[in-house]
Amino acid sequence: MKSDQIKKGVDRAANRSLLYALGLTEEEQKRPIIGVVSSYNEIVPGHMNLDKIADAVKAGVRAAGGTPILVPAIAVCDGIAMGHVGMKYSLVTRDLIADSTEALAIAHQFDGLVMIPNCDKNVPGLLMAAARINVPTIFCSGGPMLAGRLPDGRRTCLSHMFEAVGAYHAGTMDEEDVQTYVEKACPSCGSCSGMYTANSMNCLTEAIGMALPGNGTIPAPLSARIRLAKATGMQIMKLVEEDIKPSDIMTEAAFHNAETVDMALGCSTNTMLHLPAIAHEAHVDISFDMANEISSKTPNLCHLAPAGDTFMEDLEDAGGVYAVMKELTKGDLLDLSVMTVTTKTMGENIEHAENLNPEIIRPFEDPFMKTGGIAVLKGNLAPDGCVVKQAAVKESMMQHEGPARVFDSEDDAIEAILGGKIVAGDVVVIRYEGPKGGPGMREMLNPTSAIAGMGLDESVALITDGRFSGATRGASIGHVSPEAASGGNIGLVEEGDIIAIDIINKTIELKVSDEELAARRAAWVCPEPKIKTGYLARYAKLVSSADKGAILE
C-alpha cells in the first residue's frame, strides 16, 4: 500500500507514533488509508451540508474495510463574492485547491481519495488535483439546491434574483418585490439550482467517469444524496483494490465525452476554462477549436435555467446525466468503451438509462437546438477566440451589430447600465478584467443580470475579457483572447466603434481598418496593474490566457 510509507517497519516508527496520536488503532492502521477531502464550510450554501456528506462517505469507507481520514479544501461562494473585489479571488482558488490538495495527499501518502466538492472552482480544482496525484479517486458532490417558489406559485432561482435588481433600477419592481426574491430564490443548501457552473461541473464529473450516477443531479436535501455518499465511500475501496486511477479514466476519449455532454446539457461557459485546465493536468490536449467541432454535431437537449424555466431537480427526475448520454448514443457521439469509477465502462453504466421526461431531456431527433449549447467565436476582436452560451441567447440576438460602449472595469459598466446610459442596440465592452488584467477574471453576472432585468437582453450585447456566471443569459460573450492586459485588440476598442457579432457563423468583428488598429496599437500603453501585492499579483504573473484554460504556467 502507498500508506506503508508512513506506517510500516521500524524505520517508520516515528511516523506511526503520530498515527497513534490521532487515536488510530493498530487495526485501522493496517487498512488502506483513504483521504476524504471535504470542502465543508459555513459561508458557502453549497457546502454547508458537506459535513453530512463527509460523515456518510467515511461510513461507507469503514463498511468496506478502509480507514477514512478527513482533510480540508477551501471554497468561495461566487454569489456572495459577486460585484466587489471578492470576485477577483474566485477563479484563483481553483489552483489553490489543486495545489493544497496535492500537498496534503502526497505528504500523507493516502492510498485513495474521495473528493467532496460542490461549487464552481472547487470541482475543477479537485479534478485537477486528482489528475496530478493519480491515486484511486472518486467524487461525491454535495448536490444541487432546490428551486425556489414565489408566493404566486412560480419557481425561481439565483439568476432571477440578480435580474430582479436590474428590474428594480428599471422601475418595474419595488423594494418589497426584490425582498420577496431575496427570501424565496435560494430555499435550501446546495449548489444553485440551475445549470450554472457548479452543477455543470458536477454533471460533467459523471460524464467523464469520475463519479457515480446522480452526482450532478440528486438534490442536496434528499436522503438519496446521503446514500450516494455512502456508496461512494464503499466504491473507493473497490478502486483501491483494483488500482484504477484517474489516468485510467480521464483519457482523451473521456474528455471528448465530457465536452459532448457539455453541449447537450447547455452547460456554463466556465466549462471552457475548466475542462482544458483539468485535461492539462491529465496530459491531454483539448483546444478551444474543438468546442465548435463537437458542438456542430451535438444537439442541445436541455434548457435548464438560465436558458429555460426548469431546474436540476427536474433533470434528476427525468433520468439525470445518464439519460442524456443515452440519448446521445443515437448519434453515435460518445466513446462507450471508456473506464469509469464504477469499474465498468460508460456503455455498461448507461445501458439501462431511460429518458423519463422528453420535455426536460429532448429526444435526440427533436432537440432544442441542432447544435450544442456553447459556441466559440473568432475574428479580429478575438483572434484566439471567445465564448458564448448560445443556448441562452434569444434568436433575435444571434446576429447583432452596434456601437461599442467601452468600460475599463466591471464597476464602471454597472454604473452606466443601472444609470440608464445603455440603450437598445449597444454593445457593452468590459475590458482589463481578464486573468492577468483583473487579475482573477471576475464573473460578470451583475452587468448581464442588470441588462436582462432592465429588459435589454434582446437588444444589447456584452463582450468582455472577463467571464460569466453560469447564471448569465443573453448575448454575453466572454473569455476574449488575447485579453486587453496582454495587448489584445479588445484594449484598442474606442467608444462608438461598430462591432458585429454573428453567433450563427461563429465570428466577431471590430469594424475598424487594420491601418487604424495599427495606429492605435502604436499609441497603446498598458495600464498599471490594479493589484500589486499578495496572491493576486503572483497569480497575474503566472496565469495563461483564457483560451488555454487560465492555467498557471
Q: Look at residue 193 in the predicted model and tell me its pLDDT.
A: 97
Q: Look at residue 289 in the predicted model and tell me its pLDDT.
A: 83
Residue 157 placed within a domain = yes
Q: Look at residue 471 in the predicted model and tell me its pLDDT.
A: 81
State pLDDT tens for residues 230-285: 999 999 999 999 999 999 999 999 999 999 999 999 999 999 999 999 999 999 99
Domain boundary among 138, 157, 184: 184
Residue 381 placed within a domain = yes
Domain boundary among 316, 350, 384: 350
- pLDDT average, residue stretch 150-160: 95
Residue 26 placed within a domain = no
Same domain? 433 vs 449: yes
What percent of the chain has pLDDT above 70? Answer: 100
Four-residue CA torsion sign, 249, 251, 255, 257: negative
Residue 126 placed within a domain = yes
Question: CA–CA separation, 43 vs 157, rounded Å?
Answer: 19
Same domain? 127 vs 155: no
Residue 121 placed within a domain = yes
pLDDT higher than 90, residue 26: yes
**CATH code for the domain in which residue 283 is found:** 3.40.50.2300
- pLDDT average, residue stretch 456-475: 92
Same domain? 213 vs 141: yes
Average pLDDT, the chain: 96
Residue 172 placed within a domain = yes
- Exposure class string for 41-72: b at 16+ Cβ within 10 A, else e: beebbbbbbbbbbbbbbbbbbbebebbbbbee
Cell (9 digits) for 398:
444571434
Question: CA–CA separation, 123 vs 104, rounded Å?
Answer: 17
Q: Look at residue 287 in the predicted model and tell me its pLDDT.
A: 86
Same domain? 169 vs 225: no
Same domain? 194 vs 342: yes
Q: What is the pTM of this model?
A: 0.96
Residue 370 placed within a domain = no
State pLDDT tens for residues 184-242: 999 999 999 999 999 999 999 999 999 999 999 999 999 999 999 999 999 999 999 99
State pLDDT tens for residues 467-519: 998 888 899 999 999 999 999 999 999 999 999 999 999 999 999 999 999 99
Cell (9 digits) for 336:
462507450
Same domain? 311 vs 452: no
Q: Look at residue 540 in the predicted model and tell me its pLDDT.
A: 96
Banded model confidence at residue 445, pLDDT cuts 50, 70, 90: confident
Question: CA–CA separation, 90 vs 336, rounded Å?
Answer: 35
For 186-226, the three-class secondary structure string (H helix, E strand, C coil) is CCCCCECCCCCHHHHHHHHHHHCCCECCCCCCCCCCCHHHH
Share in percent of the chain as helix, strand, coil (round to 5): 45, 15, 40
State pLDDT tens for residues 399-429: 999 999 999 999 999 999 999 999 999 999 9
Same domain? 166 vs 270: no
Q: Look at residue 472 in the predicted model and tell me its pLDDT.
A: 85
Tally of domains in the chain: 3
∠9-12-16 over CA atoms, to 5°?
100
Same domain? 320 vs 232: yes
Q: Look at residue 470 in the predicted model and tell me its pLDDT.
A: 81
Q: Look at residue 469 in the predicted model and tell me its pLDDT.
A: 86
Q: Are 322 and 354 in contact (CB under 8 A)?
A: no
Q: Report the candidate in 301, 16, 47, 46 with the shortest Cα–Cα distance to residue 158.
A: 46
Question: CA–CA separation, 528 vs 525, rounded Å?
Answer: 9
Same domain? 477 vs 414: yes
- pLDDT average, residue stretch 51-65: 98
Same domain? 450 vs 467: yes
Helix, strand or coil for residue 296?
A: helix
Four-residue CA torsion sign, 407, 413, 417, 420: negative
Banded model confidence at residue 151, pLDDT cuts 50, 70, 90: very high
Same domain? 105 vs 117: yes
Same domain? 384 vs 332: no
| Contacts of 507 by beta carbon, 8 Å cutoff, 6+ apart | 377, 378, 379, 500, 501
Domain containing 171 equals: 148-184
Question: CA–CA separation, 10 vs 5, rounded Å?
Answer: 11
Residue 286 placed within a domain = yes
Question: CA–CA separation, 438 vs 454, rounded Å?
Answer: 26
Give the orientation angle of helix 197-207 with respect to helix 271-281, to 10 degrees: 40
**CATH code for the domain in which residue 540 is found:** 3.50.30.80
Banded model confidence at residue 42, pLDDT cuts 50, 70, 90: very high
What's the number of CA atoms in the CB half-sphere (13 Å) around residue 260? 24
Could you list the active site residues?
469
Q: Report the candidate in 413, 479, 474, 478 with the shortest Cα–Cα distance to residue 449.
A: 474
